[in-house]
Chain A
Amino acid sequence: MSSSESKYRPPTKEILSKEQLEQFQASETHAAIIAYIQRLNESVVGVRLTDPCDESEAVKAIIGVLDSVAHLATETPPVDNAGSRFGNPAFRDFYDKVKASSKELHSRIAGIPEDSVQEISLYFEESWGNRTRIDYGSGMELNFLCWLYCLERLGVLRPEDDRAVVVRIFWRYIGVMRVLQSTYWLEPAGSHGVWGLDDYHFLPFLFGSAQLRGHRHLRPKSIHDNEILEEFSKDYMYLACIQFINSIKTAHGTKSTRV
């Protein structure tokens, strides 16, 4: 029986010590991921969410996959939470469903070598929250970004897709995550509390600030103005996120964390 050596293999946790972390931070991979994020960032300078944006077949397929993930959540409602510490245990069922559908979901995106799915699917599966702790933090967001980066490396996504990757794909991912966070009461993992802008996410603020770069009127202090948030949150990720935080954090007028 012959077995072909695949150049792909399922990822394993390799960064375990401080020294390994420092090695990673000095590595080519680290530089490449940062470069990808910066490239994506530059592609949305001055771009509104409401501006027309071409979506390639690959982009459309990926958005379809995200819609399917959202659908899995509606099929997996929260359960009676009496025994639970905080997060809803139905999240574990949702997580398992995503894992079980992962191969099929990947097959809907043209151009992914079948062989590579064993490697890239792990990043996809870890994008939604931690199964054990029923929590979500910026590490999961990074997993999703890494999955997109893998698709880039495989040639499924191209530089021409950058803008759509941010304002269509990534923004849709944030929408799905909001549903998951509220449906399953995902605990904020590694939140900095009032010392960070958001308990769950980081990239929408980065990309969001690129969208607002060079804007003639909107400035960082605009986030404290409810009318501006009302008017512009449909166009700008940053403002939409602030508006969302405002609606979640204690009622009675307390706004979000320090800028």
Chain B
Amino acid sequence: MREGNVVHISAPVTVVGDIHGQFYDLVEIFRIGGYAPSTNYLFLGDYVDRGLFSVETISLLTCLKLRHPNRIHLIRGNHESRAVTQTYGFYTECVRKYGSSSVWSYFTDMFDYLTLSVVIDDRIFCVHGGLSPSIHSIDQIKVVDRFREIPHEGPMADLVWSDPDAEKEDFAISPRGAGYTFGSQVVRKFLAINQMAHILRAHQLCMEGYSVLFDNHLSTVWSAPNYCYRCGNSASILEVRPGGQGQEIQEGDMYFNVFEAAPENERDGPGQQASLNAGGKLPEYFL
């Protein structure tokens, strides 16, 4: 990947939030948003873990990126990490499907190359998590060495872990234990210094599939419907239209296309997978 840490692209582009291995819902995204490469896509990270089909999800996205490198962009999320994927399911899924950890190892090596941020039309700043107290200007992102495992702290960690807090103005310690929370003044200053109109990110579950804060200066897009097969939430993809200009987002520049879980989840969900796997792998007794 010869892409820098900040990739500049143009609208029209459809932006996708967390997917977390929900492959059928990824297919649903292409159904409603249009198939690549006819539709340009920007994915904001968290492709793997928690869902049943992280392998299929990241495999498809990788193929699409290889095939259409200028029409598909993939940002790194906090789950694109060796440490996190060993806990939250991707590692286990790889070992079960491939019989060894090699595939996991190759994918996690690839994650080190994923870019950290994208700018659409020089006005919409896109990142997985949020802002960092170490980053005031986007130029400072360009000098980070991203070709490594996500560290526990520092600007690279903050970009993939931070969350907005509508009730605050400044940075504060994050209850997640990594990154920070950031408030209205931080957002205002960042947009002003970098002459941007909007911050677009993912990383947080939204009941309606998306959430807009700070007087339309920051949005969260969430693309995993019925998260964990229980949350009953909607999901969305954000369609950014071309021709937008100026320091404020106008009506019609951005459209949240809301969708629900794909019907395939009902016939190929955890129940079916459990029965398939029950054959050899169940322990015989409660120990």
Interface of A toward B, CB cutoff 8 Å: 17-18, 81, 84-86, 130, 132-133, 185, 187-188, 191-195, 199, 209-210, 212-213, 215, 218-221, 224, 238, 248-250, 252-259
Contact = CB atoms under 8 A, between A and B. Distances in A.
Interface of B: 20-21, 49-52, 87-89, 92-93, 152, 165, 175-176, 181, 204-207, 211, 220, 226, 228-231, 233, 261, 265-266, 269-275, 277-278, 282-287
A81 B211 CA distance: 12
Interface residues of B: mostly helix, strand, loop or mixed?
loop
Contacts of A249: 229-230, 270
A254 B283 contact: no
Contact of A257 (B205, B274, B275, B287): B274
Contacts of A215: 286
B50 A193 contact: yes
A81 B50 contact: no
B175 A130 contact: yes
A194 B204 contact: no
Contacts, number: 119
B28 to A, nearest CB: 15
Given A220-B285, A254-B270, A255-B271, A194 B52 contact: yes
Contacts of B165: 132
Contacts of A187: 205, 231
Contact of B229 (A194, A209, A220): A194
Given A253-B271, A255-B270, A191 B50 contact: yes
29 contacts: A81-B207, A84-B207, A85-B205, A86-B204, A86-B231, A132-B165, A187-B205, A188-B231, A192-B50, A193-B88, A194-B52, A194-B228, A194-B270, A195-B49, A195-B50, A199-B230, A213-B287, A219-B285, A221-B278, A224-B274, A238-B286, A248-B230, A249-B230, A250-B266, A256-B270, A256-B274, A257-B274, A259-B278, A259-B282
Contact of A193 (B21, B181, B271): B21
